[in-house]
Chains A and B, each alone.
Chain A
Amino acid sequence: MAQACVMIFFGAAVLRASVTDLYLRYVKEGLRPFLIAASLLLIAVAVMTLWYELRPYADAPEDRNDAEDPSSGNRRQSDEQSTSGSTAEDLHDEHAHHEPRVAWLLLLPALGLLLLAPPALGSYAAGQAGTALTAEQDYGYDYPPLPAGDPATTSVFDYAARALFDKGQSIGNRRVQLTGFITPGPDGQPILARMILSCCAADGRPVKLGLAGDVPTGLANDTWIQVTGRYTDRVTRDPINDEEIPYIDVESWRQVTAPKDPYE
């Protein structure tokens, strides 16, 4: 029965994370309906278990005597008689016996989600991995024009890809606006980074972008900022995987709150 509680707990933790925006710290947005369905199913499984387990307490005591007969032949017989009480009692016995102890571990992710709600990957993770834009991802196609507006709002990934693989041609002289967090660059200067996910935070990889011009100073790591600037052909190399990190020529920047979806 305790394990049914653990499962309800775990299911509820996932459900809570997926109906709020908490899940976006860990997985892609597209997983949400599946998360909701799966967590509801988890709760349903636990509720069904509890229902089958608690039912015998309400049944007449003679049913229980049936189930306690040590010879399995009699037990099978009582099943065949299909008295609902003894069937449920059998199931109850076996549940109790077969509850795998390892299932208690499901408490850990549930507690992690409910009590701690760990933050999205930030500058620590970004500092451990090489920039995600590698020369191989140079698709070689022409980049579409930037979205309308001045400045044009785009993603760190999009700007970095245009800067590296398109040599800034599709950016031209336009102003762009990007949002990311501060992390120390290869030379110790602050750079802009944004993590990209393909599945979950375990495969999160940083897109790094050097800051030139009006470089923000005095900001703590993991501070989210919105940067407005223009293309520059300056690049540096990420020592971690020896790939190029492009720069943006910052005209202005301002501190912002972390976006709803911290990943790109």
Chain B
Amino acid sequence: MAASEPTTSSSASTAADDPATLDAPGDAHATAPTLDAAQHDRAQPSRFPFAGRIGSVEILAAVLVLLIFLRDPLARLLSAPSLATWTTVFVSVMVQAVPFLVFGVLLSAAIAVFVPRSFWARALPKHPALAVPVASAAGVILPGCECGAVPIAGSLIRRGVTPAAALAFLLAAPAINPIVLVATAVAFPNNPEMVLARAVASLIVAMVMGWLWLRLGRADWIRLPRRPDLDGLRRGEAFWSAVRHDVAHAGGFLVIGAMAAATINVVVPEQWLQTLADQPVLSVLALAGLAVLLSICSEADAFVAASLSQFSLTARLAFLVVGPMVDLKLISMQAGIFGRRFAARFAPATFTVAVAVAVITGMVLL
């Protein structure tokens, strides 16, 4: 084959493909020929090392050098108490999430590479409506917080698990695993019924959302980001490739969520909440909204809920049920892993169901 041929075809397809890639990183609709052409575009830099390479490693190096010189002015700029607190909260959310993210990504890559597709067909009930409660209850076994659950759910869908069951697992796992329930018991020493209420309400929400997805969900809302076709690769390569891709993707969106959470943490003083605490309806909505905005790890949110003592137990239950299922960091990660069309529908629906279930559970149990 003539060496020049791919060059001409690729420069033509660059214009057509690149905007699409920019707009929708999760675009799964590209046809195979387009995909191939696009791959050849990107192969060009390796043939002409200086043509396409400004913009990646070189820019990174330039930015780093620049930052070393700008370090002192930057540090002065960020030394104002509010900005310093913002930076601290942002960095700590990231540091705290790293082990869970890496653990979740390794598990999801292992699912993608080492667990055969046929396993899921055997492990879950055939009927999707039955698979939902089984998958929700399976959330008990994932000891971690929500950052790890998103790539795992994405991986499950890729491997042919019905999305309803994978989503039920995604919602249930961060809320009902033993670590989180023990943390809740420790945080509410005088109200052990909180643990039960949290587990029950979270399980119900996960199952309701799974069944809702079966009735109303549309498969084309979920656009998993393309990643290398793992089937053609040897297992070791496929594993590392999947891990790298998921860390880059989920980690990047985690940064957006962490920045949002840090902003809320600094901008919203707790005193505002005090005025809402006495009104039963508003207090539930206020704490549910706060759970979304603060994006606290599900292993720690019980302690924060405990310190919001001016609120009713039901309002704080709403905080604990909503937090692990819908928050800024999760919405950002879900938009990245499942696509924006999905996140735009799934997050508000989950929020509504979670608040409703929390209120009903609170009335019955608390």
Interfacial residues, chain A to chain B (CB-CB below 8 A):
1-7, 10, 14, 17, 23, 25-27, 31, 34-35, 37-39, 41-42, 45-46, 48-49, 52, 56-57, 65, 67-72, 75-76, 79, 82, 87-88, 90-109, 111-113, 115-116, 118-125, 128-130, 132, 134-140, 198-203, 205, 239-243
B78 contacts chain A at the CB level, 8 A cutoff? yes
**A124 in complex: contacting residue of B84, B191, B225, B252, CB < 8 Å:** B84
Enumerate chain A residues within 8 angstroms of B102, measured Cβ to Cβ: 37-38, 41-42
B271 cross-chain contacts in A, Cβ below 8 A: 239-240
Q: Which chain A positions have C-beta within 8 A of B91?
A: 26, 109, 112-113, 118
- A48 CB, nearest partner CB in chain B, Å: 4
- Whether a CB of chain A sits under 8 angstroms from the CB of B11 is no
Min CB–CB distance B17 → chain A (angstroms): 9
A115–B309 touching, CB < 8 Å: no
Q: Which of B32-40, B128-136, B151-159, B210-218 contacts A (4 or more CB under 8 A)?
A: B32-40
- Verify if B253 is at the interface (C-beta below 8 Å from A): yes
B244 close to A (CB within 8 Å): yes
Whole-angstrom distance between the alpha carbons of A106 and B189 in the complex?
A: 38
Task: Tell me whether A121 and B252 are in contact (CB under 8 A).
Answer: no
Give a binary string over B253-269; 1 marks a CB under 8 Å from any A CB, 0 the rest: 10110110110011001
- A119 lies within 8 A of B309 (CB): no
What are 25 A-B contacts defined by CB distance under 8 Å?
A: A14-B98, A34-B103, A37-B99, A41-B106, A42-B102, A56-B46, A68-B1, A90-B233, A100-B25, A101-B252, A103-B252, A107-B63, A109-B258, A112-B94, A113-B95, A115-B71, A115-B75, A118-B78, A124-B84, A129-B307, A199-B297, A202-B262, A202-B265, A203-B303, A240-B274
Q: Is the CB of A26 within 8 A of B92?
A: yes
* B192 CB-CB contact with A under 8 Å: no
Known contacts A76-B232, A91-B241; is-contact A106 B270 (Cβ 8 Å): no
B81 at the interface (CB under 8 A from A): yes
Asked if B285 CB lies within 8 Å of chain A CBs, one says no
Minimum CB distance partner of A197 in chain B: B300
Inter-subunit contact B103/A112 (CB<8 Å): no
Instruction: Beyond the given A137-B306, A139-B190, A198-B187, please list 20 additional residue pairs across the A-B interface where CB-CB is below 8 A.
Output: A14-B95, A14-B98, A31-B99, A46-B244, A52-B240, A68-B40, A72-B36, A94-B229, A96-B45, A102-B256, A115-B67, A121-B89, A123-B81, A125-B85, A136-B188, A198-B303, A202-B296, A203-B303, A203-B304, A241-B310
Q: Do the beta carbons of B43 and A116 come within 8 Å of each other?
A: no
Contact status A93-B56, CB under 8 Å: no
Which listed residue, B6, B248, B256, B266, touches A99 by the CB 8 Å rule?
A: B248
Bound Cα distance A136, B181 (Å): 18
Docked pose: A79 CA to B84 CA in angstroms = 52
Nearest Cβ in chain A — how far from B72, in angstroms? 10
Inter-subunit contact B88/A119 (CB<8 Å): yes
With an 8 A cutoff between CB atoms, is B237 at the interface?
yes
B309 nearest CB across to chain A (Å): 4
- Per CB-CB distance, the 8 closest pairs between chain A and chain B, nearest first, are A199-B300, A102-B252, A26-B92, A103-B248, A200-B96, A2-B56, A201-B92, A124-B81
- Residue from A57, A125, A241 in contact with B274 in the complex, judged by beta carbons closer than 8 Å: A241
User: Contacts A101-B25, A116-B75: A68 and B6 contacting too (C-beta < 8 A)?
Assistant: yes
B261 near A124: Cβ-Cβ < 8 Å: no
Chain A contacts of B125 at CB under 8 A?
none
Q: Is the interface of A mostly helix, strand, loop or mixed?
A: helix
Structural contact, A100 and B248, CB atoms closer than 8 A: yes
**Chain B interface residues (CB < 8 Å from chain A):** 1, 3, 6, 9, 21-22, 25, 32-33, 36-43, 45-46, 56-57, 59-60, 63, 67-68, 71, 74-75, 78, 81-82, 84-85, 87-96, 98-99, 101-103, 106, 183, 187-191, 225-229, 232-234, 237, 240-241, 243-245, 247-249, 251-253, 255-256, 258-259, 261-262, 265-266, 269-271, 274, 294-297, 299-304, 306-310, 336
Choice from A79, A102, A130 contacting B307 with Cβ under 8 Å: A130
- Inter-chain CA distance A260–B259, complex, in Å, is 26
Chain A residues positioned under 8 Å from B1 (CB to CB): 65, 68-69
- Whether A70 lies near B304 (C-beta < 8 A) is no
Contact A129 to B270, CB < 8 A, known contacts A7-B247, A17-B95, A98-B245: yes
Q: Known contacts being A49-B240, A98-B228, A100-B249, is A241 close to B308, with CB within 8 Å? A: yes
A100/B336 in contact, CB under 8 A? yes
State the Cβ distance, A14 to closest chain B Cβ, in Å.
6
Contact assessment for B32 and A72 in the assembled complex, using a CB-CB cutoff below 8 Å: yes
- Residue from A39, A96, A104, A134 whose CB has the most chain B CB atoms within 10 Å: A96
With known contacts A98-B225, A202-B93, A240-B271, A132–B307 Cβ distance under 8 A: yes
A119 and B42: CB pair below 8 A? no
Q: Closest residue to B255 on the A side, CB-wise? A: A105
- CB-CB under 8 A from B304, the residues of chain A are 198, 203, 205
- Among residues of A, the one whose C-beta sits closest to the C-beta of B262 is A202
Q: How far is the CB of B1 from chain A (nearest CB, A)?
A: 6
Measured between beta carbons, the chain A residues less than 8 angstroms from B74 are 115-116
Closest to B242 in A: A45
For B39, list chain A residues within 8 Å (CB).
93-94, 96-97
Question: Shortest beta-carbon distance, A261 to chain B, in Å?
Answer: 14
Q: Which residue of A lies closest to B228 (CB)?
A: A94
- CA–CA, A151 to B40, complex, Å? 74
Q: Note all chain A residues with C-beta closer than 8 A to B244.
A: 4, 7, 45-46, 48-49, 95
Contact B310 A68 (CB under 8 A): no
Residues of B with C-beta under 8 A to A241: 270, 274, 307-310
Question: Measured between alpha carbons, how far is A45 from B94 in the docked complex, in Å?
Answer: 18
| B57 x A242 contact (CB < 8 A) | no
Closest B residue, CB atoms, query A113: B91
- Closest Cβ of chain A to B284, distance in Å, is 18
